[in-house]
Structure 1
Amino acid sequence: MTDNIRVLAIDDSPLMRRLLSEIFKGALHFELVGAAQDAAAARGLIRETRPDVITLDNKMPDMDGLTFLAEIVESHYIPVVMVSYFTQEGAEEALSALEIGAVDFVGKPIGSTDEGWGPFRQILLERVRAAAGAQRVRSSSAPRTPHPSPQLMHDSETIIAIGSSTGGTEALMEIFRVLPAGLPGIVVVQHMPENLTDFFAQNLNRVSPMEIKEARDGDEVCPGRALIARGNNHMAIRGDGNKYRIETHQGPKVWNCRPAVDVLFDSVASVAREKAIGVILTGMGEDGAIGLTHMNKNGARTIVQNKESCVVFGMPKKAIELGAAEFILPLQDIP
């Protein structure tokens, strides 16, 4: 890959192609190598330009975006960031794109005001930059390898806190498929828009022996249940006798994220202290690393996903650099 990240934009809207072109042409260290309106045009440009990253709309005139995504993943492997209107009705398509192999997605803002398009530009560039360095990781059927691992404590005061971002939806799916129903309560922050987290929790619930739901203020964290932070809401825990309950709020973004892993981990470090286990999975940026450090200092056991099994080794890398990782494990060995 050259110093510039070479991007191919695929969108059937002439206006959107123009906006994407302006964003990438005006950004330092990005180069727009082409813009295509459909799959037929895109195939030629992929062969001619060999881009580092593709942005792809999920609606095209000649082929739906998910079908073309599968073709890109299988025929080329070029990292793909889906860029589309991910409404509540489109939640299933967004999560299907991640299952097929998209690295991440960015929702187009509704409306034409700068209020939505300014943050869209920043998020798009961040996620395309992360995608350029993403690894191709497939679900592993390999047997577990011997690693020292923390002994889970099974009482009502134990809590497991997990944070993830890019690549995290599939990592969480792999973990929750095999976790037994009787584990201590689990709280999860996965960076995801507000209109997708409930659908994602439902998907996890269908494949897991545990009860999994989108978190609501006041929910009890109890054995056999996992609570997923709602998009656009920070999630923390508070003590309630010998139990924990969820607190949600829309405070300022942390690391440009809401929900933020650090908000959750800091509350777990303060409230649960040594009766906690913290886990950081694949993801771009640094969110969660400081919070995991606080958990570790307060006696919690801490686990970080290793580089080889991460889609993006950002959050785990920072946690390791800060000395927060007691155990560094491949994804298949974390459950």
Structure 2
Amino acid sequence: MQGSKIRVIVVDDSALMRQMLTTILSSDPGIEVVGTAPDPLVAREKIKALNPDVLTLDVEMPRMDGLAFLEKLMTLRPMPVVMVSSLTERGAEVTMKALELGAVDVFCKPSDIAEGGLMAHGRELIDKVKSAALARVRPLGDRPASAAPRLSVTTIYKSTDRLVAIGSSTGGVEALRDIILALPADSPPIVVTQHIPPKFSASFAQRLDGLAAVRVKEAAEGERLVAGHVFIAPGDRHLAVRRSGAQLITHVYDGPLVTGHKPSVNVLFHSVAEACGAKAVGVILTGMGRDGAEGLLAMRQAGAATIGEDEGSCVVYGMPKAAYELGAVERELPLSRIADEVLRLCRADGARG
């Protein structure tokens, strides 16, 4: 970053929205809005002239498709982008694609903008921009292709009675996509908590389900955790795991924020430590803050294998770093090696080391 302030360009087709976003961001002494643009074509010239640290980008704009602009940006001039989206089905779908293309985070426009709702969420926007400024953004590279057609679930992993729990935040949508698309159809059951807005988690799960060999769905209350399935926490509910006789089932519930989040990675990891003990693998991926560190430590102390994404492949080396410093991470690995290591650990003969 140039100087002591984070330099931001705000891109939105609404003049009122540009003004409000500028007012919010400028209220923080660590941020300077150096320019605004009504569409991607103007934004392109502003980026060249002003060299910002972070871009806020409206999901739906005229003149040029926002996704096409983002894809070109991430290919030719990668930079941290925070998407600004409405809480609609269409907005969620487009935003999830944007996150897959490399956008760092998403800020949801509240429904009561006219009544001052946007200003009330100002701190959230400021925090997301500050987190984005710390992100490592790489050029848009090749992505995993759609997986092979789904096969019937075999007993290779099912017989080991292992459960995999994954937690992630900033940059996690892209990281989770890479891991889940690398899994075979007979993978062990996987539970995921990703910090994501309400309504977006369902769209995220649906997109992955259409690409992956495993089944991917937004978790609901009381579902059996079976091989070949990935369960993603709803964006406004905690996901935990509990036993019902010999079976593991989901527990999805409302409640207060834990470690500043709902869903909370700590909630998931603590529940897996209690329900599964050594019959689990815990993975903590890219993200800002320290949610998941204490829970992953509980998993390790219960005998589970634990993996942290290494600094070199993280978009934001916050959550994995906090877990590592706490002694919760048994082994750090680059993102490209995590799926294979998880599967190795879940095989009946998978040795630690």
TM-score, normalised by the number of residues in structure 1: 0.91
What residue ranges of structure 1 are gaps of 5+ in the alignment? 143-151
Partner of 2:151: none
- Per-residue CA deviations over 1:220-252 (Å, capped at 9, x if unaligned) read 111221111111000111111121111111101
Matched with 2:148 is none
Q: How does 1:158-173 map to 2 (within 5 A)?
A: 158-173=162-177
CA distance in 1, matches of 2:142, 2:265: 26
Contact 1:54 1:80 in 2 (8 A): yes
Q: Does the residue aligned with 1:9 lie in a helix, a strand or coil?
A: strand
C-alpha change, 1:250 and 1:272, in structure 2 (3 Å) is same
Question: Among the aligned pairs, what percent are the same residue?
Answer: 45
Amino acid of the residue matched to residue 27 of structure 2?
G
Aligned pairs for 1:15-94 within 5 A: 15-94=16-95
| CA displacement at 1:193 relative to structure 2 | 1.6
CA contact (8 A) 2:59 2:91 kept: no
How has the CA–CA distance of structure 1 residues 141 and 33 changed in structure 2, closer, same or farther, with 3 Å as cutoff? closer
SS of 1:51 mapped into structure 2: coil
Mapped pair 1:234 → 2:235: no
8 Å CA contact retained: 2:20, 2:119: no
* Structure 2: tracts of 5 or more residues without a match: 145-155, 340-353
Counterparts of 1:139 and 1:243, CA distance in 2:
40
Q: What is the alpha-carbon root mean square deviation over aligned residues?
A: 2.0
What is the match of residue 107 of structure 1? 108
Partner of 1:133: 134
SS at match of 1:245: strand
Could you tell me which residue of structure 2 aligns to residue 244 of structure 1? 248
Residue 17 (structure 1) shift = 0.9
Trace 1:254-333 onto structure 2 (pairs within 5 A).
Answer: 254-333=258-337
Deviates more, 1:233-242 or 1:108-117: 108-117
Q: Would you say the 8 A contact 1:156–1:222 is kept in 2?
A: no
Structure 1 residue identity aligned to 2:196: M
Alignment TM-score, normalising by the size of structure 2: 0.87
| CA separation of 1:208 and 1:43: change in aligned 2, threshold 3 A | closer
Whichever residue aligns with residue 290 of structure 1, its letter is: E
1:204 to 1:119, Cα distance in 2 relative to 1, 3 A: farther
Distance 2:69 2:56 in 1: 12
Q: What is the CA distance between 1:139 and its match in structure 2?
A: 5.5
Output the CA distance in 1 between the equivalents of 2:284 and 2:214. 20
Inter-partner Cα distance in structure 2 for 1:186 and 1:281: 14
2:12–2:57 CA contact under 8 A, matched in 1: yes
CA distance in 2, matches of 1:230, 1:44: 39
Evaluate the alpha carbon distance shift between residue 3 and residue 88 of structure 1 in structure 2; reply closer, same or farther with a 3 A threshold.
same
**2:5 is aligned with 1:4:** yes
Structure 2 match to 1:206: 210
One-letter amino acid matched to 2:37:
A
CA contact 2:25–2:125 (8 Å) conserved in 1: no
Confirm or deny: 8 A CA contact 1:8 1:51 kept in the other structure: yes
Deviation at residue 121 of structure 1 after TM alignment: 1.5
- Contact between 1:160 and 1:185, CA under 8 Å: does it hold in 2? yes
Tell which deviates more after alignment, 270-279 or 74-83: 74-83
2:282 is paired with a residue whose SS is strand
Q: 1:71 to 1:243 in 2, by over 3 A?
A: same
1:61-113 CA-to-partner distances (Å, cap 9, x unmatched) read 32122122223222322211111214112222011111222111111111137
SS in structure 1 opposite 2:187? Answer: coil
Amino acid at match of 1:159: L
The count of residues paired between Structure 1 and Structure 2 equals: 326
Cα offset, 1:115, TM superposition: 7.7
User: Is the contact made by 2:85 and 2:91 (CA closer than 8 Å) also made in structure 1?
Assistant: no
